[in-house]
C-alpha cells in the first residue's frame, strides 16, 4: 500500500473507533537515545576512552578504564574461570 492509502485507512479506523491506537498498538517500543559519551584519559594506562557522561567520577583524573580495573584485580578474574 502507498503511504497515502495507509494514512486514509488509519483516519477511517480512527473515526470508527476513537480508541484505535494504530497498527502497532499503544505499547510500541521506541528507540532509546544513546547516553552521551565523553572522551576521558585513563589514569593508569593513559588511553583515551569514550565513557557515558553519567558514569564519570567527579575528578576526571581519577578515571580508571575497565581493562585496567580487571588487570588490577587478578584474583576476581581467576575466580570467574
The three-state DSSP-derived secondary structure of 6-62 is HHHHHHHHHHHCCCCCCCCCCCCCCCCCCCCEEEEECCCCCCEEEEEHHHCCCCHHH
Q: Say what the pLDDT of residue 27 is.
A: 65
Q: What is the pLDDT of residues 39-80, one digit of tens each?
A: 999 999 999 999 998 888 889 889 999 999 999 887 655 555
Which cell goes with 78?
581467576
Q: Say what the pLDDT of residue 67 is.
A: 93
**Global pTM?**
0.48
Q: Say what the pLDDT of residue 75 is.
A: 66
Q: Say what the pLDDT of residue 57 is.
A: 86
Q: What is the pLDDT of residues 8-43, one digit of tens each?
A: 888 888 888 888 777 666 666 667 788 899 999 999
Amino acid at each position: 500500500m502507498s503511504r497515502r492509502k495507509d494514512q486514509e485507512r488509519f483516519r477511517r479506523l480512527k473515526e470508527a473507533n476513537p480508541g484505535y491506537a494504530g497498527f502497532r498498538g499503544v505499547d510500541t517500543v521506541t528507540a532509546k537515545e544513546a547516553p552521551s559519551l565523553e572522551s576521558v584519559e585513563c589514569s593508569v594506562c593513559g588511553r583515551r576512552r569514550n565513557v557515558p557522561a553519567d558514569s564519570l567520577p567527579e575528578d576526571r583524573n581519577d578515571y580508571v578504564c575497565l581493562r585496567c580495573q580487571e588487570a588490577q584485580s587478578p584474583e576476581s578474574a581467576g575466580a570467574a574461570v
